[in-house]
Amino acid sequence: MAMKAKKINKMLDEAIPLRHPLKLNEAMRYSLLAGGKRVRPILCIASCELVGGDESLAMPIACAIEMIHTASLIHDDLPCMDNDDLRRGKPTNHKVFGESTAVLAGDAFLSFAFEHIACNTNNVSPDRLVRIFAELSSVIGSKGLVAGQFVDIESEGKAVSLKELEYIHVHKTAKLLEACVVCGVIIGGGNDNDIEKVRIYARFIGLLFQVVDDILDVTKSSVELGKTAGKDLVSNKATYPKVMGIDEAKNFAYHLMNQVVQQLACFDTAKAAPLYHLAYCIANRQN
């Protein structure tokens, strides 16, 4: 993971140079290069390699997905959304550059991500690229991230069922993880059966990621997390510990991990090893 993350960081650094308008590009670089585990782009590359593809094929898409993820974080932290002051141990984008710049930096990432794929992807058939663009555009909009964020905000202070909570986190978290693995398999030359297997795998790790995130929010400090701890409790947000209780939330995480393992059973064990490892990292992370 460290080796892949180093390569991804190098490509991201090169993708957004300091140019006019300087403040906008500084804001974009501030959030894009702020650190993080690079789980999403690594998932994309690992999925490409799972079906016999090469890392170089997946790298432009992997970087584009990290740009989309960064845009979602910038927007989520805004005062009109989750109103957060801390992200990855640093002040949030709008705290440093102002709200208007933060909004525009996020918007710029959403369009530039597609440009980056189109301009840097080689030796891939047009039909595969069209499928990738369709997958990513669906994830970003009212069928994906936007839907999840909207329902999350609308649910603040309300009693939310487990089904409604799952809807929020499937759309807000799991959908983008699905796009990572699906796009990786598409670019690597996988078939429709491969795509559906990794899609279900990603759906489970997306829910797993959120369950663990919710548990950490009530069990860790802001210093340990690199973001504001206890924020969901203060905002009266729907979380798994709130709906299920913390012990049941931990049991649910264990159940999801078992489901993840089952989805990968049909693939070559050696090629699937990174995807197993990423799932275990998500399940056992401490920040």
Q: What string of H, E and C letters represents the secondary structure of 23-37?
A: HHHHHHHHHHCCCCC
Q: Indicate the angle between helix axes 269-284 and 39-50, nearest 10 degrees.
A: 160
| Cα distances (angstroms) measured from residue 109 to each of 113, 188, 220, 287 | 6, 24, 31, 25
pLDDT score for 230: 63
Cα 204 versus chain centre, distance: 13
pLDDT score for 93: 97
| d(C-alpha 179, C-alpha 200), whole Å | 11
pLDDT values of the chain reduced to their tens digit, one per residue, 287 residues: 889 999 999 999 999 999 999 999 999 999 999 988 899 999 999 999 999 999 999 999 999 999 999 999 999 999 999 899 999 889 999 999 999 999 999 999 999 999 999 999 988 999 999 999 999 999 988 999 999 999 988 988 888 888 998 999 899 889 999 999 999 999 999 999 999 999 999 999 989 988 998 888 887 666 656 666 566 665 667 788 888 888 888 888 888 988 888 889 889 999 999 999 988 888 888 77
pLDDT score for 222: 67
pLDDT score for 233: 60
pLDDT score for 175: 93
Strand, coil or helix: what is 237?
coil
Classify the phi-psi angles of 189: left when phi > 0, otherwise alpha if psi is within -120 to 50, otherwise beta: left
| Cα distances (angstroms) measured from residue 282 to each of 39, 101, 202, 279 | 9, 32, 12, 5
Looking at CATH, the fold of the domain delimited by 2-284 is given as Farnesyl Diphosphate Synthase (1.10.600)
| Cα distances (angstroms) measured from residue 221 to each of 80, 89, 217 | 24, 12, 8
Angle at 139 between CA 145 and CA 176, to 5 degrees: 75
Which residue do the tokens 């709200």 mark?
Answer: 99
Question: Among 255, 252, 254, which residue's Cα sits nearest to residue 241?
Answer: 252
pLDDT score for 5: 92
| d(C-alpha 198, C-alpha 66), whole Å | 19
Q: What H or E segment, with its residue span, contains residue 113?
A: helix 99-120
| Cα distances (angstroms) measured from residue 85 to each of 94, 149, 155, 201, 227 | 8, 18, 21, 33, 8
